[in-house]
Structure 1
Amino acid sequence: MAFKKEKPIHSLVAGATAGAIEAFITYPTEFVKTRSQFGGLKKEGPIAIIKSTLQTKGITGLYSGCMALVIGNSMKAGVRFVSYDHFKGLLADSQGKVSAPRSLVAGLGAGMMEAIFAVTPSETIKTKLIDDAKRAQPQYRGLVHGTVSIVRQEGIFGVYRGLFPVMMRQGANSAVRFTTYSTLKQFVQSNARPGQQLPSTITFGIGAIAGLVTVYTTMPLDVIKTRMQSLDARLQYRNSFHCAYRIFTEEGLLRFWAGTTPRLARLVLSGGIVFTTYEAIISVIGGRTPTE
């Protein structure tokens, strides 16, 4: 599919806005997913986590660590779309077309960029806040206090804990999601009238399918990431490979898919919301117009 390369500022604004909206709408599913991935003898299902949180913390308990994700997701989506457009421009052939393998590489590169510049710090803080919130007496009073405390206790590298699994997860996430989305979108457009803009419902559906595929292919990396960013990670795991080994030998292979249901709910909604919002904002501010 040929395209007019989007201006970086357009991609940044549209991506950041879409990311912030998506994070706030879907955060309760992220909260439940993260809680279900922590270690320990007691394994709670999604419904049990929701019930216990509502009983002890109220509805606001489902939003523990929310601002960390909203801010991080906004930055992440902005970096992701800017990077993806940039890499696609570099990898496009002389006719301006990008093949599926090249789209995969562009998505992988975008995922690596967002992991380094946005995702790891926000995910580490969010995970620690959620882990801390389930204690009888939480030590963090909110996003700012929690961030300052983490940096004071562990240094700046404390918010970059789990960087390797985050880079692997985000690289795989973006590679799979963008490739699936681009391939499906190209297929749908090839069967539409030339120049016809896809309805938002179709864009949402394509994005949702991309989210579904992404979940099942990258779930083990997400579980390792969560464990490496928990409060007691330094006491249990030497590195990501040791973490994966302990999960496999002590809890079994299926534990790598813990939290699949809430993550599936989030990424299916996320894929639809992000791509629909992004495309809508791009069209409003005079951005890219895909062509045949």
Structure 2
Amino acid sequence: MATKKEKPLHSLVAGAVAGGVEAFVTYPTEFVKTRSQFGGKRESPIAIIRETLRSQGVRGLYSGCAALVVGNSAKAGVRFVSYDHFKHALADEQGKVSAPRSLLAGLGAGMMEAIFAVTPSETIKTKLIDDAKRPTPQYRGLAHGTVMIVRQEGLRGIYRGLFPVMMRQGANSAVRFTTYTTLKQFVQSRSRGGTTLPTSVTFGIGAIAGLVTVYTTMPLDVIKTRMQSLEARAQYRNSFHCAYRIFNEEGLLRFWTGTTPRLARLIMSGGIVFTIYEKIISVIGGREDPSSGVDARS
């Protein structure tokens, strides 16, 4: 089955909308995951939620949310445009994309989103969350926090942890897109309804892709969070030193800290993002048949 090519602008819009909606809906799980990955005393997800609600209310669970919504919109837009570009560049003469080539396309998309969207937004979000748990926070929201971080640390301050972010996003996209594309093609090949799948099936396939992604990339996520914390400069020389200290001082299992909230988020995230993306692309006619040049809505 030849794949239909997504129009770059439509793919960007659909991806950005899907990413923004997903970030807002799932943000409390991201907040809990990030808080649990900081060094020091281990806290369970329930303990973090209870303490945050007690001291800051529901609003506390959304500390740093604006940074992630903006960043996630940009990330999803860049991700889908990049993946679609790499996917069709690597497609064979029949327009088919094998699993290894889909993996490579996903890896490339992850690298692009890490550089252009994820690292700045993740760094700012992580610092805002880290700062919010202090008795007297110094940042008063996204705009003020961004200005203060740049003023104190320069542009390097918002690009701290670029290497682990690139590794994480590359692995994330490679695993997630390969799993999603492989399962989607498998289901479509056995579906009597042709290439259009029900929303529930698309959501389920996306959720499975999220599940696989979590367990394979969790260590990179933990290293990323530590490198972007407020104390990172004083504690870690680089990402490898950070990984060494976590392993040596806290044990191997510490690399999977925050798995439960991240698992909850990525299962929902995979379902929400792919479902919204497919729906928007279908509505706006964002795919065209590469063999005929005719727009297609399937």
For the superposition of Structure 1 and Structure 2, which TM-score range results when normalised by the shorter chain? over 0.9
1:20 is the counterpart of 2:20: yes
Kept in 1: contact 2:150–2:158 (CA 8 A) = yes
Map 1:58-207 to 2 at 5 A.
58-193=57-192, 195-207=194-206
User: Distance between the aligned counterparts of 2:193 and 2:136, measured in 1?
Assistant: 61
Pairwise CA RMSD of aligned residues?
Answer: 1.2
Kept in 1: contact 2:106–2:178 (CA 8 A) = yes
Kept in 2: contact 1:220–1:257 (CA 8 A) = yes
- Per the TM alignment, residue 288 of structure 1 is displaced from its structure 2 partner at its CA by 2.3
User: Distance between the aligned counterparts of 1:280 and 1:28, measured in 2?
Assistant: 25
- 2:5 aligns with 5
What amino acid does structure 2 have at the position aligned with 1:15? Answer: G
What amino acid does structure 2 have at the position aligned with 1:17? Answer: V
1:254 is the counterpart of 2:253: yes
User: Distance between the aligned counterparts of 1:133 and 1:4, measured in 2?
Assistant: 46
- 2:210 aligns with 211
- Is the partner of 2:6 in helix, strand or coil? coil
- 2:293 aligns with none
Give the aligned length.
291
What amino acid does structure 2 have at the position aligned with 1:18? Answer: A
Kept in 1: contact 2:223–2:242 (CA 8 A) = yes
1:44 is the counterpart of 2:50: no
User: Distance between the aligned counterparts of 2:81 and 2:228, measured in 1?
Assistant: 27
User: Distance between the aligned counterparts of 1:235 and 1:96, measured in 2?
Assistant: 51
What amino acid does structure 2 have at the position aligned with 1:9? Answer: L
Task: Give the TM-score, by structure 2 length.
Answer: 0.96
User: Distance between the aligned counterparts of 1:2 and 1:137, measured in 2?
Assistant: 57
User: Distance between the aligned counterparts of 1:4 and 1:226, measured in 2?
Assistant: 37
Gaps of 5+ in 2: 290-295
- Per the TM alignment, residue 194 of structure 1 is displaced from its structure 2 partner at its CA by 5.9
- Per the TM alignment, residue 39 of structure 1 is displaced from its structure 2 partner at its CA by 0.2
- Per the TM alignment, residue 289 of structure 1 is displaced from its structure 2 partner at its CA by 6.9
User: Distance between the aligned counterparts of 2:174 and 2:3, measured in 1?
Assistant: 19
Kept in 1: contact 2:119–2:162 (CA 8 A) = yes
Identical pairs, percent: 83
User: Distance between the aligned counterparts of 2:146 and 2:2, measured in 1?
Assistant: 43
What amino acid does structure 1 have at the position aligned with 2:56? Answer: K
User: Distance between the aligned counterparts of 2:95 and 2:103, measured in 1?
Assistant: 16
Gaps of 5+ in 1: none
